[in-house]
Amino acid sequence: MTEAATPLARFWGEFRNNTVAVIALGVVIAISALAIAAPLISPQNPYDLANLVLMDARRPPGFVGSKGFTHWLGTDAQGRDLLSAILYGLRISIQIGLIAGAIAFALGATLGAFAAFFGGRIEALIMRIIDLQLSFPAILLALVLAALLGQGKWPLIAALVTAQYAYFARTAHGAASAERSKDYVDAALSTPLAARRVVFRHILPNCLPPLIVVATVQVANSIALEATLSFLGLGLPVTEPSLGMLIANGFQYMLSGRYWISIYPGVALIVLIVAINLVGDQVRDQLNPRLKR
Amino acid sequence: MSPVLLDVSGLTTRFATRAGSLNAVEDVSFTVAEGEIVGLVGESGSGKSVTGFSILGLIDPPGRIVSGSVKLNGRELVGLSHAELRSMRGREIAMVFQDPSATLNPVLTIETQMRLAIAAHENLGDAAARARCIEVLGAVGIPDAARRIEAYPHQFSGGMRQRVAIAIALLNRPKLIICDEPTTALDVSIQAQILTEMKSLAARLGTAMIWISHDLATVSSVASRILVMYAGRLIEAGPMAQVLRQPHHPYTRGLLGSLPGMAPPGEDLVQIPGTMPSLIDLPKGCAFQPRCGFADAQCATMPALSAGAGRRVRCHHPLAAETVP
Amino acid sequence: MLGFIIQRVLQAFVVMLVISALVFTGVYAVGNPIDVLISPDATQLIREQTIRAYGLDQPLWKQYLDFLGRLVRGDFGRSFVYNMPVLDLIFSRLPATLELTLAAVIGATALGVPLGMYAGYRPDSAASKAIMAISILGFSVPTFWIGLVLIFTFAVSLGWLPAGNRGDTASLFGIQWSFLTWNGLTHLFLPALNLSLFKFALMVRLARAGTREVMLTDTVKFARAAGLSEGTILLRHVLRLIAIPIVTVFGLEFGSTLAFAVVTETIFSWPGVGKLIIDSISTLDRPVMVAYLMLVAFFFIMINLSVDVAYAALDPRLRTRRAA
C-alpha cells in the first residue's frame, strides 16, 4: 500500500471505505449548509412576529398561506412556516451545540491535561471533583443550571458546558497521564521550556485523537440536550424557537392529530444527531488503536 | 503393537484471509495407537495447534478443513454434524491448552466448571458428579480435593491450575487427550513434575496423548514417537529415540543442534539461520529450502513424505548418520 | 470487607455534606421566592411576617445552618407551593417514579442483554445488524421525541394505549402501584418503553462488545473442547464473564434513569418526582428543589456503594483481595 502524503489524507482514505459514514458526513455538511443559508433560502423569517399571520396557524403541509407561498411542511400555532422555523431552528441548535462543545472542550482538556501534568494533590482534587460530577446525570445538572440562570442563549450554553466539560477533562486526563509518563515529555521538561508550554506544545496535541472522538459525541449530545431543555421550557425564549421548543409547542396539538408541528422538527433533529453519531462512530473506530488491524 | 486409535490422513485445513487463502495444515497424515504418547513439534505458525483443533473439529471461520480424513476407532470425524462433534469432544477426545489462567473461567468455582463438563455428556446425580470431580482432582495430584473443589481458579498456583484443567479434560475418560503446550506457561521445576505425572497418568488410564510443543526437550521426555511440522507440513516422523539419535531432515537436525543437552557433546550450539516463511508467501518446493545448507535445484520441487510405518521424512537429501553441513 | 464499607459510607457522608452546601447556595443564590410566596397585593405586614416565617431575612450561612439543623431532625422544610412538608410531598410522588424507572431498567436489561449477546455471538447475521441499527437509533434519538412518537402512534393514531397518567392503582405495603392493575399496566407501558430505549441501546452495546471479546478467549475454546454446548457456554460462561460491566452500568444507569424520568414524566403526565421538580423549578419552590437534588445525590451515592459491593460478589478475585 502506498503511504498517503498527509495524516489527514490518510485518515480520509480510510474513512472513505465506510459508505454509511460518508453518507452521514454528507448529511451533516448539507444540513449545516442549509442552516447557515437559512436567512437566504427560507420562505419566511419565523422570528419576525410581524410576519406571522395567525389565520394561517396550524395548517397542514402543502397549505397555501395568505402570503401566497406554499407551506410545504405546514404551519405552527403562531402561523409560522414550519420549513422556515426548522431551518432557523437548526441554525440555533448547531450554533449552540458547537459553541458549548468548543468551550467544554477547551475548558475540560486544559483542566485534565494540567491535572495530569502537575500530579499530586492538585490532580487528586481536580479529578475527585470531576468524578463526582460525572457520577451525576448531566441532564439534571443542566436542568438545574438552566432553571437557575434563567432563559437565554448564554445561560443555556453555560448549563451545557457545565454538564459536559467533565467528559473532556476525564478523557484528556487519561490520555495526558499516559503521555506524561513517556520519555519525550521528560526530555522536553529538561530543556528550559516553561511547563505551561510543555503542556500546550507537547502533551495536549498527543491527547487530541481521544478528545476528537469525545467531541463528536458531545456535540451531538449538546444538540440533543439543548432540544430536551427547550422542550421542558428551560431553554431559549419562546420568540426564537429552537427545534426542541418547536417540538414542545406542537406537542399539545399532536393529541388532536396535528402531528406535523412536532414530527417534522423532530425528524430534522434526529437526522442531524444520527448523522453526527455515525460519523463519530467511524472516527472512533479509526482513532482507536485497539481496533487497528 | 496396540491397535490404531486415531488415523489422520491427508488433512488439509485452509484459512481464507483478506490477504489470500493459506493452508495452515497441508496433507498431514499420521496415526496414534491406543495408549501411545505422540509428540508434535514445530515452531509457532508451523500448523501444530491447528492440527490439534482440526482433529477436534474446532476450526472457526474463516478456517475450514478442506480435505483429508480423521478417523477415531475407524469412525470418520470430518463432516460430522455440530451436535455429533460436540458429543465426541471431551468424551472421546479432550484437549488441554497452554495457559490455565486463560482457559479456566475466573468467576466460576472449580466444581461448577467440572460439573458443566460432566453434564455435557452424562446425566449424573449431584453426589455422583461431585464424587467423580473429587476423584479426578485427586488423581491429578491436587491435595485436599474435597475442600479445594469449591475454590476459584485464582486461589490455585499456576501448576495447580493446570492440574485442574487436566482434570477437566480427564473427567469423561477420553481415549485421547490433545495437549497443546500444557507446560509452556509454567515454572521449569513444575513443568518437569507435571510431565512425569501426566506420563504415568496416561500409562495408568491407558489414555493416548498428542503432545504439541515447540520445545523438543519437553516432548522428548514424554513422547515415544515424534512428528515434526514445518510450514503446515509434516517433514519428519519416527520413534523418538531414533529421530533424536539420527535426524533425517536438516530442519530436525537444526532443532536438535540448537538445544543444549541434545547437540552432540563438544559441539557448539547452532541456530537455524533465518525465520519460517509466511504461509501466504511460501517458496516454491520445499518450504525449508531458503534456510537449508543442503538446498539445490532439486529442492524447487516439493519432496514427497517417504512412505513407511516407521521413519518418514520429507526431503530430497535426507541426512545419513555422519553427514555434516 | 466491613472496613471497606465503613470507609465508603464515611466518604459518602462527606460528599453529601459538600453537595448539600453546593445545592443550597446554588438554589438560594438565584431568584426571589417571595414573589411566588406572596400575592402582589398583600400588605407590607403580611410580607414581612411571611419572610420571617420562612427565615428568608437571615443571612445565607445562617439559613444554611438552620437548614442543616432541621435536616438532622429529618425536616426538609415545607413546600412554598403545596404548603406541606417537602419530605411527605416527595415520598408521595416517589413510588410512581420508582415504579417507572424499575420497569424501564429491568425491561431494558432483560431484553437488551440477550439481544446484545446474540449480536456479539453472530456479529455478521442480518438479525444482529438489525439489533445494532435499533441500538444506534436508541442512542441518538432524544428521549422526549421518542415519547412523542410513541404517544402519536399508540395513543392517538391507533388508540391502543392511554397517553398519560398512572391509571388505576392498587395498594401494596400501603403504597399505590400501577403495575398491580391491568389498567395501570396499560398506562405504565408506554412511558416505561420510552424511558427504557436508551438503556436498551446501552445494554445491547455492552453485551455485544463483551460477548465478542469473551467468545475469542481460551476459556470458550476450552469449554468447547470439553464438549459443552454453545447454549451452555453462552449461559454459564459468557454471561457470568460479561455480568460485571453490565451490573455496574445497570446500577449507574438506574440512577441516571431516575433523573431522566423528568423528561418522560413530563411527556406522559406521570405524577412522579420528575414532574414535581420541573414544576418546582418553574415556581421557584426552593425547598422542593433542594430536597429533590439531595435525594438524587443520596441515591447516587447509595447506588455507587452497592455497585462496589456487587462487584465483590460477582468477581471472586476481588473478594479475596479485599478480604486479605
Sequential DSSP letters for B23-66: EEEEEEEEEEETT-EEEEE--TTSSHHHHHHHHHT-PPTTEEEE
Same domain for B110 and B188, yes or no, is no
Interface test mutation site (partner C, options B55, B81, B116, B150, max chain C beta carbons within 10 A)? B116
Q: ipTM of this model? A: 0.86
Same domain for B235 and B294, yes or no, is yes
List subunits contacting chain B, requiring 3 or more Cβ pairs under 8 Å: C
User: C240 to chain B nearest CA, in Å?
Assistant: 7
B77-92 CB burial, b ≥16 within 10 A, e <16: bbeeeeeebbbbbbbb
Domain CATH for A269: 1.10.3720.10
How many residues in chain A? Answer: 293
Q: Specify the pLDDT at position A220.
A: 85
User: C198 to chain A nearest CA, in Å?
Assistant: 13
Nearest CA to C280 among C297, C265, C301?
C265
Q: Specify the pLDDT at position B40.
A: 92
Instruction: Answer for the pair C93, C79: CB distance below 8 angstroms, yes or no.
Output: no
Given the DSSP bridges, would you call strands B176-180 and B208-213 parallel, antiparallel or unpaired? parallel
Residue C29 clears pLDDT 70, i.e. is over it:
no
Q: Which residues of C touch B112 (CB under 8 A)?
A: 236
Cα torsion C166, C168, C171, C172: sign:
negative
Half-sphere exposure of C158 (CA within 13 A, CB side): 8
Same domain for B211 and B70, yes or no, is yes
User: A22 to chain C nearest CA, in Å?
Assistant: 17
Same domain for B166 and B186, yes or no, is no
Q: Does B102 touch chain C (CB under 8 A)?
A: yes
Domain presence at residue C105 = yes
Q: Which residues of A touch C137 (CB under 8 A)?
A: 274
Instruction: Answer for the pair A242, A64: CB distance below 8 angstroms, yes or no.
Output: no
Same domain for B195 and B107, yes or no, is no
Q: What is the DSSP letter of B309?
A: S
Residues 141-180 of A with CB under 8 A from C: 143-144, 147-150
Domain presence at residue A132 = yes
Cα torsion A289, A291, A292, A293: sign:
positive
Mean pLDDT for the stretch of residues C238-250? 82
Instruction: Answer for the pair A207, A172: CB distance below 8 angstroms, yes or no.
Output: yes
Grid cell for residue C7: 470507609
Domain presence at residue C19 = no
> Would the CB atoms of A232 and C151 count as touching at under 8 Å?
no
List subunits contacting chain C, requiring 3 or more Cβ pairs under 8 Å: A, B
Residue B29's domain spans which residues? 4-92+175-323
Q: Which of C145, C149, C282 sits opposite A269 (nearest CB)?
A: C145
Domain presence at residue C38 = no
> Would the CB atoms of A266 and C282 count as touching at under 8 Å?
no
C-alpha C232/C-alpha B86 separation (Å) is: 12
Q: Which residues of C touch B156 (CB under 8 A)?
A: none
Q: Which amino acid, A143? A: L
pLDDT in tens, C38-52: 666 667 777 777 777
Same domain for B224 and B273, yes or no, is yes
Grid cell for residue C117: 449477546
How many residues in chain B? Answer: 325
Q: Which of C221, C315, C320 sits opposite B58 (nearest CB)?
A: C221
Q: Does A11 touch chain C (CB under 8 A)?
A: no
Same domain for B198 and B287, yes or no, is yes
C-alpha B105/C-alpha C218 separation (Å) is: 9
Q: Does B62 touch chain C (CB under 8 A)?
A: no
Q: Which of C219, C227, C232 sits opposite B87 (nearest CB)?
A: C227
**Rounded CA Rg of chain C:** 24
**Could you give phi then psi for residue B20, rounded to 5 degrees?**
130, 170
Domain presence at residue C282 = yes
> Would the CB atoms of B102 and C232 count as touching at under 8 Å?
no
Residue C238's domain spans which residues? 86-323
3-state secondary structure of B67: strand
Q: Which of C223, C314, C320 sits opposite B107 (nearest CB)?
A: C314
Residue A152's domain spans which residues? 7-287
pLDDT in tens, chain B (325 residues): 578 888 998 899 998 877 778 888 888 889 898 889 999 998 888 888 899 999 998 888 788 888 888 988 888 888 888 888 888 998 899 999 888 888 888 888 889 999 998 888 888 888 888 998 998 888 888 888 888 898 888 888 888 888 899 999 988 889 999 998 888 878 888 888 888 888 888 888 889 999 998 888 888 888 889 999 988 888 888 898 888 888 888 888 888 877 776 666 666 777 777 777 788 778 788 888 888 888 788 888 888 888 766 788 888 888 875 444 4
Instruction: Answer for the pair B318, B249: CB distance below 8 angstroms, yes or no.
Output: yes
How many residues in chain C? Answer: 324
Q: Which of A220, A232, A255 sits opposite C156 (nearest CB)?
A: A255
User: B166 to chain C nearest CA, in Å?
Assistant: 11
Domain presence at residue C51 = no
> Would the CB atoms of B116 and C236 count as touching at under 8 Å?
yes
Cα torsion C8, C11, C13, C19: sign:
negative
Same domain for B117 and B187, yes or no, is no
Cα torsion C250, C254, C259, C260: sign:
positive
Same domain for B14 and B158, yes or no, is no
> Would the CB atoms of A263 and C163 count as touching at under 8 Å?
no
3-state secondary structure of A263: helix
Closest-CA residue of C relative to A220 is C140
Q: Which residues of A touch C262 (CB under 8 A)?
A: 139-140, 143, 232
Instruction: Answer for the pair A287, A261: CB distance below 8 angstroms, yes or no.
Output: no
Residue A202 clears pLDDT 80, i.e. is over it:
no
C-alpha A75/C-alpha A88 separation (Å) is: 14
CA distances (Å), C180 to each of C154, C183, C185, C310, in order? 22, 9, 7, 29
Closest-CA residue of B relative to C241 is B107
- Can you give the pTM of this predicted structure? 0.77
C-alpha C223/C-alpha B109 separation (Å) is: 14
SS3 breakdown of chain B: % helix, strand, coil, rounded to 5? 35, 25, 40
Same domain for B286 and B160, yes or no, is no
Interface test mutation site (partner A, options C8, C32, C143, C144, max chain A beta carbons within 10 A)? C144
- The residue out of B133, B152, B173 marking a domain boundary is B173
C-alpha C59/C-alpha B45 separation (Å) is: 78
Mean pLDDT for the stretch of residues A196-225? 78
Closest-CA residue of A relative to C137 is A274
Grid cell for residue B6: 486415531
Percent pLDDT > 90 in chain C is 1
> Would the CB atoms of A266 and C259 count as touching at under 8 Å?
no
> Would the CB atoms of C278 and A232 count as touching at under 8 Å?
yes
What is the total count of domains within chain C?
1
Q: Does A259 touch chain C (CB under 8 A)?
A: yes
Element (H, E) at B213: strand B208-213
- The residue out of B117, B145, B173 marking a domain boundary is B173
Q: Specify the pLDDT at position B209.
A: 92
3-state secondary structure of A123: helix
Q: Does A124 touch chain C (CB under 8 A)?
A: no
Domain presence at residue A293 = no
What is the total count of domains within chain B?
2
What is the total count of domains within chain A?
1
Q: Specify the pLDDT at position A229.
A: 82
pLDDT in tens, A80-131: 777 888 888 888 888 888 899 899 999 988 888 888 877 778 887 888 778 7
Q: Which residues of C touch B63 (CB under 8 A)?
A: none
Domain CATH for C251: 1.10.3720.10
> Would the CB atoms of C240 and B105 count as touching at under 8 Å?
yes
Q: Does C249 touch chain A (CB under 8 A)?
A: no
List subunits contacting chain A, requiring 3 or more Cβ pairs under 8 Å: C
> Would the CB atoms of C267 and A251 count as touching at under 8 Å?
yes
Same domain for B278 and B250, yes or no, is yes
Instruction: Answer for the pair C82, C246: CB distance below 8 angstroms, yes or no.
Output: no
Closest-CA residue of C relative to A140 is C259
> Would the CB atoms of B94 and C226 count as touching at under 8 Å?
yes
Q: Which residues of C touch A227 (CB under 8 A)?
A: 142, 144-145
Q: Which residues of C touch B88 (CB under 8 A)?
A: 227
